[in-house]
Amino acid sequence: MNDKRSQNSPSDSFAEMIKDFGNAVAEIFNDPSLKEKAKEFGQSAAESAKTFASRFKDEDVKKKFKDLGTTAKKFGDSVAAYFKDYANKKESDGTDQNPETSPQPEDTQDSADEDGQQGPEISGQSGSGEAVISSVEKQVNIVESAKGIKEPGLYRSERDRNSRITGYCFAIAWSIIFIVFFNFFNKYIAFYLLDSQSDTWMIMPFTTSSFTAWLPFVNVSLLVSVVGNVVLIINDSFYFNNITNIVMHFFSILAAAALLIIFPFDFTVMPASVLSAILYPLIRIVLIVIIVGLSVGIIARFIRIIVKTVRA
């Protein structure tokens, strides 16, 4: 069987491989209909492979492939000769000239044109190779000139955009972390005391049973933050940025206001009564400052949108 297969043409070997594969799959599933389909597929693949292989035996196809290889070889020789002559000329120019007397861009372009004309003549190639090299040189000059024309402000804008996207990603990550922490690990918002006798930490939570009443507010606020930052990653143009931040600020104000009203904390579990007395007003003041700051941010963004719209 192996000797017979080794004498077959590549197309026959490919067809037999397809048949064997189809038969093996059919045997695995032991399905008569699948065997029949595999047989039909193998026969079809064998006929296609033979037809495809027979095309390479035509003299016309062989001649076209031969002409294509000759043309590719001529083009490669022409390009190699051009760049070799150009490198030699650059080295000779560099030894004869000082940095202060370096040629202007116009001179460089002229010398490059002269090299482009001399390269094909030295290699003995036809005018078609010269035309191809000249076209390639023009394309390179266009790309380099485009890089030079590009304003630094565009690069700065791209860097700013990447920085903002990084900030949005961090905001999404922190929002997800807070959702998980507040819903499943809120008991660790506590006062920790080391018991010297048992050498273990005692956890005395600050949260009360009313903490669950505040969870819906903070969950909605954090989910809006996740969605809003995803929107800003996709599009953070002026109007998208301001409107999305207004919505996120609004839900953050609701969460902070709900926390201020419900205030699900009990600091009396702390041994230091003075510290517990300070924390009550301190946290309330912080929440009020947060609400005022977010409100000012909403007003400022509304004013920006109005001013932008009026100017437009």
pLDDT at 240: 92
Cβ atoms of 249 and 221 closer than 8 Å: no
Instruction: Give the Cα separation of 34 and 19 in Å (integer).
Output: 13
Same domain, 174 and 299: yes
pLDDT along the chain (312 residues), means of 10: 48 58 56 62 60 58 62 62 64 54 45 44 48 58 51 72 93 97 94 84 91 96 97 93 96 97 90 80 95 97 95 88
Residue reference for tokens 């693949």: 45
Same domain, 164 and 289: yes
Alpha helices in the chain (DSSP H): 2-7, 10-29, 32-55, 59-96, 105-123, 127-149, 152-184, 211-234, 238-262, 273-311
pLDDT at 119: 43
Structure confidence by residue, pLDDT tens digits, 197-254: 888 888 889 999 999 999 999 999 999 999 999 999 999 999 999 999 999 999 999 9
Report the chain's C-alpha Rg in angstroms.
38
Residue 31 is given by DSSP the state -
Q: Counting beta carbons within 10 angstroms of the beta carbon of residue 147, is it exposed (0 to 12), middle (13 to 18) or buried (19 or more)?
A: exposed
Same domain, 285 and 172: yes
Angle among Cα 62, 68, 70 to the nearest 5 degrees reads 105
pLDDT at 228: 96
Same domain, 83 and 231: no
Closest by Cα among 189, 234, 244 to 211: 189
Cα dihedral 293/294/300/306 (nearest 10): -160
Q: What is the pTM of this model?
A: 0.52
Same domain, 66 and 104: yes
Which range marks the domain in which residue 33 is found?
2-55
Same domain, 43 and 180: no
Domain termination residue (choose one: 122, 149, 176): 149
Domain termination residue (choose one: 149, 183, 210): 149
Instruction: Give the Cα separation of 254 and 256 in Å (integer).
Output: 6
Our count of domains for the chain comes to 3
pLDDT at 175: 97
Same domain, 85 and 177: no
Domain termination residue (choose one: 134, 149, 164): 149
Same domain, 141 and 254: no
